[in-house]
Amino acid sequence: MNYETTREIEVAIANWFDIRRHIVVPNVSWGMFGYELDLCVLNTTSMCAKEVEIKVSKSDLKRDADKYHHHDRNGFLIKELWFAMPEKMRGCEDLVPERAGILFVTKNGRVLVERKPTANKLYKKWSEANALKLARLGAMRVWALKQMVNRTVELKKELKEANEDARMLAEELELEQNPGYSCAALRAHYARVKGGEE
């Protein structure tokens, strides 16, 4: 892992914010915001939230430069805006809004604070109901992820079985095309195949 993809940076940032002290949920929009947050980080003690924008390329950052970040809106629930990027993007800091903090993630997953954010003075603390909604969304993501992991395990097993079948067919084809082939494994397989026909 070299911490240059969105997924790798998400994990590094979630760990940096300490998932034991914060509710950290990726890709939040459903039922909570009018736009999607790459990461929503809620401090469960202060009930203040941070938004983390993850950028992995300069072009991605340029596209974001003109985007209006809604956390400035009166009474909104985001106190701080952060931009997290792989360390290879040093030199792109001028494309990040001045009010936003900047985090760089090194190739070994270490998070470096380049700049702290300016707090949104209009933010409101989260209610317990909103915090519970965010936690529920995070829990739903865990179960969806477990379903994907289970399906991946099933597909790997099916692929392994298909590869074994293909290998055996290739051996049979080689044996049919070259009956004098001297490979002991092929002769044994041929004997098994012939024995099964009886």
* 32 plus 88 within the same structural domain: yes
* 18 plus 109 within the same structural domain: yes
CA distance 55 to 143: 26
Task: State which residues of the chain have pLDDT below 70.
Answer: 30, 65-75, 175, 178-187, 189-190, 193, 195-198
The per-residue pLDDT for range 151-196, each reduced to its tens digit, is 898 899 888 888 888 888 887 777 677 655 556 666 676 677 676 5
The amino acid sitting at 46 is: S
* 122 plus 24 within the same structural domain: yes
* 28 plus 100 within the same structural domain: yes
* 11 plus 92 within the same structural domain: yes
* 42 plus 110 within the same structural domain: yes
pLDDT at 197: 55
Q: Is the distance from CB of 102 to CB of 114 less than 8 angstroms?
A: yes
* 163 plus 84 within the same structural domain: no
The residue to which tokens 């809106």 are assigned: 73
Boundaries of domain holding 45: 6-126
Q: Report the chain's mean pLDDT, rounded to a whole number.
A: 85
Joined together, the tokens standing for residue 178 give 């070259």
Mark which of 126, 161, 184 sits at the end of a domain.
Answer: 126
- Structural domain count of the chain: 2
pLDDT at 198: 46
Task: Tell me, yes or no, whether 83 lies in a domain.
Answer: yes
* 100 plus 191 within the same structural domain: no
